[in-house]
Amino acid sequence: SAVISQKPSRDICQRGTSLTIQCQVDSQVTMMFWYRQQPGQSLTLIATANQGSEATYESGFVIDKFPISRPNLTFSTLTVSNMSPEDSSIYLCSVYSEKLFFGSGTQLSVL
Amino acid sequence: SQQGEEDPQALSIQEGENATMNCSYKTSINNLQWYRQNSGRGLVHLILIRSNEREKHSGRLRVTLDTSKKSSSLLITASRAADTASYFCAPLPGGSYIPTFGRGTSLIVHP
**CATH classification at residue A55:** 2.60.40.10
> Does the beta-carbon distance from B98 to A102 stay under 8 Å?
no
User: Where do the domains of chain B lie, and which CATH numbers do they carry?
Assistant: 5-110 (2.60.40.10)
Q: Tell me whether residue A71 is in a domain.
A: yes
Nearest-CA residue of chain B relative to A104? B42
Q: Tell me whether residue A21 is in a domain.
A: no
Q: Tell me whether residue A101 is in a domain.
A: yes
Q: Over the stretch B66-108, which tens digit does the pLDDT of each residue have?
A: 999 999 999 999 999 999 999 999 998 877 777 778 889 999 9
Domain extent, residue A90, equals 4-8+29-105
Q: Tell me whether residue A17 is in a domain.
A: no
Q: Tell me whether residue A24 is in a domain.
A: no
- DSSP per position, B10-53: EEEEETTS-EEEEEE-SS-EEEEEEEEESTTS-EEEEEEEETT-
| For testing contact with chain B, the best of A4, A34, A36, A42 (most B CBs within 10 A) | A42
Q: Over the stretch B2-52, which tens digit does the pLDDT of each residue have?
A: 578 889 999 999 999 999 999 999 888 989 999 999 986 889 999 999 999
Q: Over the stretch A51-93, which tens digit does the pLDDT of each residue have?
A: 888 899 999 999 999 999 999 999 999 999 999 999 999 999 9
Q: With contact defined as beta carbons under 8 Å apart, do A18 and A64 qualify?
A: no
Query: In chain A, how many domains are there?
Result: 1
pLDDT of residue A99: 81
